[in-house]
């Protein structure tokens, strides 16, 4: 039985894309061109290829011109740096993202450092990271935690004075999430693989963000009654790994029949019995991440013109 209200990421993401569409139309009118997003993919990793295709489709939906660059897997760091240079200089490109993960022989850090901070719509360049740490205004910040903040705002969840626990300390989710909640005056705890008694720390959370990459790890008895639970995790599991709770869900069974896997988060479904608000997987943080990429591209275009 579910007591929590679901935060529908698809609905909020559609609202964000609608706002972006309004802004791109105004931009086109004043600038005589659409905002532009360049997306660079190296190699043919199937998941990355799907993400890139979705990003390009999102651009089309909200009036952003996309420039897709697909490079062979054997591309060197120097060749990729050359392309980043070209795109940094291209006046029709407002946002530039290099799809991660890059093949192992490429120096990812060097590539991210090289992206013009004004075009860094993923918010991974150290200049933007530093500005986020300082809490500066007008910064391009990572899309996933920005999407989570927008979800909290839409649901009138004010982090001020709340205990926020984030499980995961990655550069792309956990750390920027912690900073954004801190800037909004939450009391923030960041957990990771060496945290002792993780369950007990999670039980202190008014706002619990799971960004771990461990299917269904956060259990009902780890969550305080009435907590807001944000599930960033995206894990694909097959029927052989699915617990009974998942096997009881007809939508999951349909997934298994159709594609032999289903997409689950880091949070067990029975957490909905104790949480007040919870994000589903799929249909929660995922669509918000994509929508915020469009919003960041629009912002980058706007700020570059100012």
Contacts to ligand NDP by CB under 6 A: 144, 167-170, 172-174, 191-195, 198, 211-214, 232-235, 285-286, 289
Q: Which of the 8 DSSP states describes residue 71?
A: E
Catalytic (active site) residue 99: yes
Annotated catalytic residue: which of 23, 58, 94, 99? 99
Q: Which of these, 67, 70, 98, lies nearest to 84 by C-alpha position?
A: 98
To the nearest whole angstrom, how small is the minimum distance from the Cβ of residue 266 to ligand NDP? 6
Annotated catalytic residue: which of 58, 94, 120, 122? 122
E-only strand ranges, the chain: 5-6, 36-42, 65-71, 95-98, 163-167, 187-191, 207-210, 228-231, 235-237, 262-264, 277-278
Q: Which of the 8 DSSP states describes residue 106?
A: S
To the nearest whole angstrom, how small is the minimum distance from the Cβ of residue 297 to ligand NDP? 16
Cα separation of 97 and 32, whole Å?
Answer: 23
Catalytic (active site) residue 122: yes
Structural tokens at position 245: 């709770």
Q: What are phi and psi of 149, to 5 degrees?
A: -60, -40
Q: Is 183 helix (H, G, I), strand (E, B) or coil?
A: helix
To the nearest whole angstrom, how small is the minimum distance from the Cβ of residue 147 to ligand NDP? 7
To the nearest whole angstrom, how small is the minimum distance from the Cβ of residue 190 to ligand NDP? 8
Q: Is 58 helix (H, G, I), strand (E, B) or coil?
A: helix
Q: Which residues are catalytic?
A: 55, 99, 122
């Amino acid at each position: 039985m579910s007591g929590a209200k679901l935060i529908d990421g698809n609905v909020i993401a559609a609202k964000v894309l609608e706002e972006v569409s309004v802004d791109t139309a105004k931009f086109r009118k004043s600038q005589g061109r659409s905002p532009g997003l360049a997306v660079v993919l190296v190699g043919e990793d199937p998941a990355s290829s799907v993400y890139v295709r979705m990003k390009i489709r999102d651009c089309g939906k909200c009036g952003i011109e996309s420039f897709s660059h697909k490079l062979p897997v054997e591309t060197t760091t120097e060749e990729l740096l050359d392309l980043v240079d070209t795109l940094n200089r291209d006046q029709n490109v407002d946002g530039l993202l290099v799809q991660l993960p890059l093949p192992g022989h490429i120096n990812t850090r060097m590539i991210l450092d090289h992206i013009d901070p004004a075009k860094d719509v993923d918010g991974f360049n150290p200049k933007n990271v530093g500005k986020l740490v300082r809490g500066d205004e007008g910064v391009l910040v990572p899309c996933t935690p920005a999407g989570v903040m927008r979800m909290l705002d839409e649901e009138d969840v004010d982090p001020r004075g709340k205990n926020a626990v984030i499980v995961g300390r990655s550069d792309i989710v956990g750390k920027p999430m912690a900073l954004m909640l801190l800037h909004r005056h939450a009391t923030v705890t960041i957990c990771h693989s060496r945290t002792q008694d993780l369950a007990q720390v999670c039980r202190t959370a008014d706002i619990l963000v799971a960004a771990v990459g461990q299917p269904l790890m956060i259990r009902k008895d780890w969550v305080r009654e009435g907590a807001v639970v944000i599930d960033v995790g995206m894990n694909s599991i097959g029927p052989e790994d699915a617990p009974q709770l998942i096997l009881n869900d007809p939508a999951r069974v349909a997934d298994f029949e159709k594609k032999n896997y289903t997409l689950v988060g880091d949070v067990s479904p029975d957490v909905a019995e104790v949480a007040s608000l919870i994000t589903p997987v799929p249909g929660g943080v995922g669509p918000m991440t994509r929508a915020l990429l469009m919003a960041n591209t629009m912002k980058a275009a706007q700020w570059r013109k100012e």
